[in-house]
Amino acid sequence: MPDLNNFTYARLQKLVAVIFIGCLMVLFLSGFDTIKSKARDVKRRADIKILIKALDLYHDKYGKYPDSVNDWQGWDLSISYNGGKAEFINKFKEESFVDREIKDPINDVAYHYRYQKFQAGDYGCRNSFYILQIANFELPTENNGRGECLELNWTKQAPNGYTAQDFD
């Protein structure tokens, strides 16, 4: 005759093992989303450095930063808006300042790159300048870049993004 105490104990051990493995899976999968978000944010930071370098190369070659084409409220976007493409990024690719298409890993309304060239006097800045932004990071960030004119702090326009500014 089987021993019911051992049988129950063995089943309890298996149940505890299954619950433990299930908890580990839940922890891993919940942390996996954070890891993926962090990886996308790291790519965004790498992309912005590449775009800043491309802007500098463009400026060295032409003596000015590229004009924006007013895709959306004056901004060139990495997302397609009104059927347009990211003209500033396409210019860099055509000129071989970048070797690949650069776009945000998600590249939608909330997560994208944007560029705009402003004229001297705009927002109280004496010289013409550009603003290049990562619209948003997925995880909170403390390094929001820099960009400010007398009348507007550009970093406040992308509070959980990144802003780069340079003057002609």
Q: What is the pLDDT of residues 64-118, one digit of tens each?
A: 999 887 667 788 888 876 555 667 788 888 889 999 889 999 999 899 999 999 9
Residue type, 39: A
Within 8 A by CB and 6+ apart from 47, the residues are 102, 103, 104, 113, 134
The contacts of residue 134 (CB under 8 Å, 6+ apart) are 44, 45, 47, 48, 104, 113, 158, 161, 162
Note the pTM of the prediction, 2 decimals. 0.81
As a whole number of angstroms, the distance between CA 98 and CA 89 comes to 8
Distance CA 100, CA 106 (A): 17
Residue 62 has pLDDT above 90, yes or no: yes
110-128: per-residue pLDDT in tens? Answer: 999 999 999 999 999 999 9
62 CB-near residues (< 8 Å, 6+ apart): none
> What residues form DSSP beta bridges with 131?
116, 165
Average pLDDT on 11-34 reads 82
3-class secondary structure, 103: coil
pLDDT of res. 84: 57
Which amino acid appears at position 133 of this protein? Q
Q: What's the mean pLDDT in 143-152?
A: 93
